Amino acid sequence: MPKQFEVTLAGFGGQGIMLAGQLLAYSGMAEGKQVTWVPSYGPEMRGGTAYCTVVISEGRIGAPIITQPQSVCVFNRPSLEKFGPMVKSGGLLFINSSLVDIASGRKDINEYLIPATDTAVKIGSVKFANMVMLGAYIHITSVVKFETILQIFLEKMGDKRQFLESNRIALEEGRKFVQ
Amino acid sequence: MAKKLMKGNEAIAEAAVCVGAINYFAYPITPQSEVAEYLARRLPEVGGVFIQAESEVAVGNMLFGAACSGKRVFTTSSSPGISLMQEAISYMAGAHLPVVIVNIMRGGPGLGGILPAQSDYFQAVKGGGHGDYRLIVLAPSSVQEAVDLTILAFQLADKYRAPVMMIGDGMIGQMMESVEFPAKYQDPPLPPKDWALGGARGRKPQVIKSLFLDPIALEKNNILLAEKYKVIRENEVRYELYKVNNKNRLLLFAYGMMARICQTAIDELETEGISVGLFRPISLFPFPEKEVYREVLKDNIERLLTVEMSMGQMVEDIERCSKGKKPLGFYGRTGGIVPMTEEVKGAVKKELGLVK
């Protein structure tokens, strides 16, 4: 089977979960890979849960929704409770330790505690937490290049280009936690 | 043209614009509202028309009226909305009008839910409205294929002067994948629209209708429709085989997004030494009848299994086409629950007697 990366990003509405997933998908596509991005959708309200699954593959992608993803990034505690048990054995779990004070308790996966929200606040806004997390995830998996995601940010978020530098720092800070 | 990352709903909208279908009538409903959202911005850019109707009943009749002009017209909706359009769909079939209808299906019956389903197969394929008519029905399993089949739908509608329906589940509407549109779209040769109504100056008046009170005339229209469907059955069958070979013990049948999940299940079963192939109908009408039978007959195939996001609808067509030659099983989930890879693998193993 072709090499494939699967990641579910989960948190509450407003944490930039969907956007982080889309930036990842755009980046994978820019690097010539097949990608899918599937959002949760349902009768959700502001502050409710939000999650998306991104698959990046060197070949044709079958199922775009995955029961046991290789990687999961959780931004709040309800997401850890829901998705922590689903990480594939041997897989990766990234926990936003600023908002989640427990770990998964699993011994069969690699767990990374990333203080994404606190780090984002230090950089200037809580909104950078998604990029801090992506920095850690991308460093560990090498799923896409850092330059690609910054390039994509510039292309897709042109009207927010003044935040490019902060986002770059957020990615870098995220990477430092797992180096 | 460069590849774009788009939601299925947006990609369907752009594909319609691509073929010059810029007359759109709709009423918002989850999970397809992004089509209307996209077109509300896009159509004014290309001089098109988007009318948000007061209901889906009105949408159906706006389509009927606008299609008489010979311009390309279409709508998109989701299950309950499509139900409301059935009267007009029957009328348009009876009146030989080219129109494209997209159903991004959600769970039913009734108001049901808003999550993905494939439970409108019967409605689409067997005729949701009254009378002796069929729709050409196409079912994409990727965002790119949603684009390709939207384009094809408009061509087939014009070629056969018939309503064409594309059905996808809510997931294909919501998910993003990379897509490519034709850089410079050109229609294949299509018959002239000399039937269209645009004022009778310089020609004899003509009428487009589905009312024929004279039984001889009405039967004649039904025979005309039946002859058209015969030609469609001969020429427009589309399907795809995945990992079908002479090692397969079981043949899976699935369409749309469900087929994608079956592909992953097949890949994973392969690593466990269990060989399974997939038959994916792309045209649900015309159904690949002969092709299904041909594959079912192969000596190595012990059993058949249909997987759907329904309680079992396409399985009746597989049963009909396989003519009882091999035992046929079914696995399905509903209510917006999508059968996952592990469930499909489990169903295959159970069917083969490898697990209880």
Tell me what pLDDT residue A137 has. Answer: 98
Q: How far apart are CA B55 and CA B36, in angstroms?
A: 14
Band (pLDDT 50/70/90 cuts) for residue A46 is: low
For residue range A129-144, what is the model confidence (pLDDT) as tens digits?
999 999 999 999 999 9
**Residues contacting residue B210 through CB under 8 Å, at least 6 positions apart:** B90, B91, B92, B93, B94, B95, B221
Residue-range domains of chain B with CATH: 4-184+207-235 (3.40.50.970), 240-351 (3.40.50.920)
* B170 reaches A (C-beta below 8 A): yes
Q: Which two tokens stand for residue B13?
A: 């909208």
- Nearest residue on chain A to B7, alpha-carbon basis: A37
Tell me what pLDDT residue A47 has. Answer: 66
* Domain membership flag for residue A12: yes
Please count the structural domains in chain A: 1
Enumerate the residues of chain A whose CB falls inside 8 A of the CB of residue B178: 29, 34-35
Tell me what pLDDT residue A163 has. Answer: 87
Please state, as a whole number, how many other Cβ atoms lie within 10 Å of the Cβ of residue A85: 12
Q: What is the CATH number of the domain that holds A24?
A: 3.40.920.10
Band (pLDDT 50/70/90 cuts) for residue A14 is: confident
Tell me what pLDDT residue A45 has. Answer: 63
Question: What rounded mean pLDDT belongs to chain A?
Answer: 93
| Contact (CB<8Å) B5/A26 | yes
Q: Based on DSSP, count helices (H) and strands (E) in chain A, helices before strands.
A: 6, 6
**Helical segments of chain A, H only:** 17-30, 77-83, 116-123, 129-141, 146-156, 164-176
* Domain membership flag for residue A99: yes
Tell me what pLDDT residue A44 has. Answer: 63
**Residues contacting residue B186 through CB under 8 Å, at least 6 positions apart:** none
**Residues contacting residue A142 through CB under 8 Å, at least 6 positions apart:** none
- What are residue B276's DSSP bridge partners? B250
3-state secondary structure at position B292: helix
Which residue range is the domain that position A10 belongs to? 4-115+141-154
Tell me what pLDDT residue A162 has. Answer: 81
- Which of B5, B257, B267 lies nearest to residue A25, judging by beta carbons? B5
For residue range A153-174, what is the model confidence (pLDDT) as tens digits?
888 877 777 888 999 999 999 9
**Residues contacting residue B63 through CB under 8 Å, at least 6 positions apart:** B25, B73, B74, B75, B85, B88, B92, B99, B101
Tell me what pLDDT residue B99 has. Answer: 98
Residue A91 has pLDDT above 80, yes or no: yes
* B171 reaches A (C-beta below 8 A): yes
* Domain membership flag for residue A19: yes
* B5 reaches A (C-beta below 8 A): yes
Enumerate the residues of chain B whose CB falls inside 8 A of the CB of residue A35: 5, 176-178
**Residues in chain B where the model's pLDDT stays below 70:** 1
* Domain membership flag for residue A125: no
**Residues contacting residue B7 through CB under 8 Å, at least 6 positions apart:** B34, B143, B173, B174, B175, B176
With a pLDDT cut of 70, the percent of chain A lying above it is 96
Q: Which two tokens stand for residue A62?
A: 């079958």
